[in-house]
Amino acid sequence: MILTADCILPVSSHPLYHGAVAIQGSKILTVGDEPSICRRYPDLPRRDFKGCVLMPGLVNAHTHLELTLLRNRLSHQGDFISWILDLIREKRKMTPDEIEESIRAGAEQGLSSGTTCFGEITNTPISPEILREKGLRGVVFFEVLGRDEKDPEHWKNELTGKIRSLHESQGGLITMGLSPHTPYTLSEERLYVLSGLLKKESLPYTMHVAESREEQEYFLEHSGGIKSRLFPAVEWQDQPDPKEVVSPLLYLDRLGLVTDRLLIAHGVHLSPGDMDRIRKAGAKVVVCARSNQMLGVGRPPVPALIQKKIPVGLGTDSLASNTTLSLWDEMRHVYSSFKDSSSMTADSLLRMATLGGAEGLGLASEIGSIKTGKEADLIAVEWKRSSVNDPASDLISRTDNRHIRMVMVGGRILISRGI
């Protein structure tokens, strides 16, 4: 198949006007100008996307789709700990049918806005099944947490079995990983066990790190809302504090968990020293700026991360702390938050929403840019040219679901509208 468009945005190279992409099976054969591609592959069927930009599918690198139905059911007026406690209560009320409905609804909302790949955190085996059923790509991270240290050997055996089942259940468009929840919702003993197991495994893993001021207070002062309110509410009040007074990131680093397979979610309160450790280890960061604003935890240090040359992806988090699952809305918010920064350009934002997310999920060799040999995860987006004729800026400024004309994953068209 040959796809043509007014503009091809490869992300990893300059825009190509009046270009074409040749696809065979699930792979991109080549990218180039329309006449030469059509002459080279005269027998391939052709689809023209006039008035559109053809670009990589969006990569939502941090989601909790099973929380989609919790939109507008939690109060965001209180502090971060109040929100967590509300979330625990509401999540316990959800039935298995509601959780399945929630995952389906979230996947459909993301797909409708041009998302072709999810970094999905879950507690249920239904998530990978639904993503497969809908033809979507994903890295599905199974969440682990707990601070009970009474029988660490039993927990190690249980986790080893879980890792084995994750290996067995992945394949095709779905990669499985682990999500140790946060540095404070797993005991030091469990994190140590986890670190040892992950050294022997090839699984990707993600963790919420440095998201809130309360997290900083707990690790740097051994005080604050996590210790005084969250732990008693979940009967962890007798669990020991960390042995050292260090930042959450340094705490994880000393346990051997900051590696090139770690995707840090949020990172709002990362220090310059933390960022240096992240860069040295080859870890990545996914930011969820609208969620951070809604919960009042601060702004992620996006310009500093870019300046440190740390791969940065974008995530929406869940609708328990956001209003939509659209990365276009996320890009607009990040741009408005950091528009005075020289590093915050339309091109850098589009890269975060595609190749940056792919890097964070360990999929950069497969997706995130339009390049020969990569998977054909592509979207066609209606393009209304502005006077500056900057396709990335034009798309970010106005795109919503109505402008998504085609969505393709692995060479298979999932959405085709008006073309």
- The CATH number of the domain holding residue 295 is 3.20.20.140
Q: What is the pLDDT of residue 223?
A: 94
Over residues 277-300, mean pLDDT: 97
Tell how far CA 43 is from the center of its chain.
Answer: 38
Q: Which residue has the higher pLDDT, 4 or 153?
A: 4
> Amino acid letter at 281?
A
**Which tens digits make up the pLDDT trace of 149-197?**
677 778 888 888 888 888 888 889 999 999 999 999 999 999 999 999 9
Q: Could you say which DSSP state residue 240 is in?
A: P
> Amino acid letter at 286?
V
Q: CA geometry: angle at 96 spanning 143 and 206, to 5°?
A: 15
The two three-digit tokens of residue 368, written as one number = 């995130």
Q: What is the pLDDT of residue 78?
A: 67
pLDDT band per the 50, 70, 90 thresholds, residue 50: very high
Same domain, 28 and 65: no
374 in any annotated domain: yes
Residue where a domain terminates, one of 333, 360, 387: 360
Neighbours of 361 (CB within 10 A): 30
**Which tens digits make up the pLDDT trace of 60-69?**
999 999 999 9
Same domain, 411 and 282: no
Q: How far is it, in rounded angstroms, from Cα 322 to Cα 318?
A: 6
Element (DSSP H or E) covering residue 161 = helix 152-169
Q: What is the pLDDT of residue 170?
A: 83
17: CATH: 2.30.40.10
Residue where a domain terminates, one of 315, 340, 360: 360
Same domain, 286 and 397: no
**Which tens digits make up the pLDDT trace of 292-344?**
999 999 999 999 999 999 999 999 999 999 999 999 999 999 999 998 888 89
pLDDT band per the 50, 70, 90 thresholds, residue 38: very high
119 and 286 in contact (C-beta within 8 Å)? yes
Q: Which residue has the higher pLDDT, 169 or 351?
A: 351
Same domain, 99 and 9: no
Q: How far is it, in rounded angstroms, from Cα 184 to Cα 190?
A: 11
Task: Give the three-state DSSP class for 153.
Answer: helix
Q: How far is it, in rounded angstroms, from Cα 343 to Cα 305?
A: 10
Same domain, 189 and 65: yes
289 in any annotated domain: yes
Element (DSSP H or E) covering residue 119 = strand 115-122
In this structure, the strands spanning 404-409 and 378-382 are: antiparallel
- In the β-sheet with 115-122, what is the strand arrangement from edge to edge? 58-63, 115-122, 137-144, 174-180, 205-209, 262-266, 284-287, 312-314
Give the total number of structural domains in the chain. Answer: 2
Q: What is the pLDDT of residue 72?
A: 85
| Model confidence at 419: pLDDT above 70 | no
Same domain, 18 and 79: no
Q: How far is it, in rounded angstroms, from Cα 222 to Cα 241?
A: 7
**Which tens digits make up the pLDDT trace of 196-238?**
999 888 899 999 999 999 999 999 999 999 999 999 999 998 8
DSSP string computed for 4-51:
EEEEE--SSS--EEEEEEEEETTEEEEEEEHHHHHHH-TTS-EEEEEE
Which sign does the torsion angle of CA 146, 151, 155, 158 carry? negative
Over residues 256-284, mean pLDDT: 98
DSSP string computed for 166-179:
HHHH-BTTEEEEEE
The two three-digit tokens of residue 29, written as one number = 């054969």
Q: What is the pLDDT of residue 77?
A: 62
Torsion-angle region of residue 172: left (phi > 0), alpha (psi -120 to 50) or beta?
A: left
The two three-digit tokens of residue 261, written as one number = 């397979």
251 in any annotated domain: yes
Same domain, 354 and 379: no
Q: How far is it, in rounded angstroms, from Cα 12 to Cα 249?
A: 30
365 in any annotated domain: no
Residue where a domain terminates, one of 321, 339, 360: 360
Same domain, 245 and 391: no
> Domain range holding 43?
2-57+370-416
Q: How long, in residues, is the chain?
A: 419
Mean pLDDT of the chain: 94
Radius of gyration of the chain (CA): 21
Same domain, 333 and 271: yes
Residue among 395, 399, 299 at smallest CA distance from 347: 395
The two three-digit tokens of residue 293, written as one number = 């604003």
Range in 160-174, 253-267, 277-291, 351-365 the model is least confident about: 160-174
